Structure 1
Amino acid sequence: MWTLLLLTLPTQPAAVRLRVWRNLKALGSEPLRDGAYLLPSAHDGAFTKIAEEVIEHGGTAFIAEMKPRLKAQDDELNALFDRTAQYTQWFESLQTLRADIKAMTEVDARRRYRTAADSLLAIERIDYLPGEARVQANTELASLKRDIDTMFSAGEPNPHQGEIPVRSLAKFQGKRWATRARPWVDRMACAWLISRFVDQSATFVWLTDIAKVPRGAVGYDFDGAQFTHIGSLVSFEVIVHSFGLQEDPKLKRIAAIVHYLDVGGIPVPEAAGLEWVLAGLRDLHGDDETLIAASNGVFDALYATHVQDSSSGTI
């Protein structure tokens, strides 16, 4: 079943006409002819908002269900929504990225990876009839992520499934916390979170070999660690949830930034700036303890900024 939107756009204002066209394109609707746009019925909700705006400005809009009588006609309509060409173009750009990756820094490689992930997500948003091309694209993206992790961050944890156990703060005081050496965003953020919200007497061990965790140390952000990726959550988010800190709106915002910089997903405006600052700190400080002391100040400032924002109602 298909939904058809028939429009007569107002001649003025021109901004409305442009906005409607852009919204239809962003929605992934396909034109049958001038003024006639199509979507699979299961995804037609956005047509209503577009129609309301057109009518409000003096145009006409009519939404109707449509069912082709012939299979061949239905096949024609399905073909309009075949996104194979977009996936193919995306795949070709990914191969170019894969060929260039060895000459990049870690920051550039991960930034380009997120750009590729965002581009794929944009195609998926309008892929209403997904098929094998979408599966292959996601497989290739995951493969690229593994290659980048292997090249720049050996021991990057693989997410595992399961519930996040609730932990008692009282049982995690004065601990040694161990993670992989040369920390990057997730591990930096975890060290700040631990020292500020979990264990203010924490000391840290930077592992060059995750198989050599000191006896009694609490591991985080590596496979087999007590705190590591679970499902879609990165280690920072897991620690937040483990200690019941998830209702703090400022930590939620920081978690969103860390998540995006670590594994991609929904972009966050502050992410690019934080990434540049942390990359600069890592270039400046070869000693991990000194690096964490410096990055803690950045996260302190970020948290303080959102304290101010939350009081004004913008988080």
Structure 2
Amino acid sequence: MKVLRRLAAIGAVPLKNSLHLLPERESCREQLFWLAQEVEAEGGEAVVLECAGLGNVSEAEARDLFRRNRDADYAELEGEASICSARLSAQTDDEAARREARAFLRKAERRLSSLRDIDFFPSGRGDALRLVLDDLAARLDGNGPELAQPSCRISDFQGRTWVTREHPYIDRLSSFWLVRRRIDAGASIRFLAEGEAVPQGPEFASFDMAHADFTHRGELVTFEVLAQDFGIRDVAVRRLMGIVKAIDLADALLEDGGEDGGLPAEARAVKDVLDGLVKISHSDAELLERAMLLFDALAATYNTTGE
């Protein structure tokens, strides 16, 4: 049991009953050799092997095995954070509850740091958990999102036509998803051709273009601006924030002649699906309809795993 706990602590995953796997990195190699010495010092036997291949297990399958193990750890900690947050909401003025939340947060920060150290092939769940813990810390400091007054009232934005540029991609598509699913279920959209004037009046709301009502603000992309201005902070929206921002920034780098090689695995998967939707869609309206389903599916998954 001691050996199994040590293997789990250094990030090894079981491949067979007595065979555990780590990626070929110097730090991992050292950890295994140290553990082998401990086993032998206790009278046991241990063999450390370096393999160019894993037989009938592909490299992609091995990477996925690591991701599943770490994602399960992140999900467990995120679930504990959700319980802690719910207790804090139910007992806002209870100092004992706040002390308990602070103690949990200290332990969770250490746990998250340890998990990141052994998250060899990140899926993005660690970034999502980081947001959850940041929100909890902000609430304990008196700066939580539930305490900040939104600058816009949802009731003031009913029945509007939302206007943006044609040929939408991640930020515009996800932003209108946010409008339809969290602000006005009956909202309509109008895509403007290049050079077309932006319609004015109380029946319109513009987004994600120059001088729009809602667009990039500082380091925030339009999706984040809308969520902030309307006070939308549910689990799914927080998870989508990181994905939308990562893809939007990567797209900007490509436009400038750079590369997007730093995309987290989760954002990369969403971008691949979105790129496919762009290719098979014959109009902006058709692309939007398909993208709405994509974001609905992601939100359903995130709300289930985040609660």
TM-score relative to the length of structure 1: 0.46
TM-score relative to the length of structure 2: 0.47
Pick the structure with greater CA Rg. 1
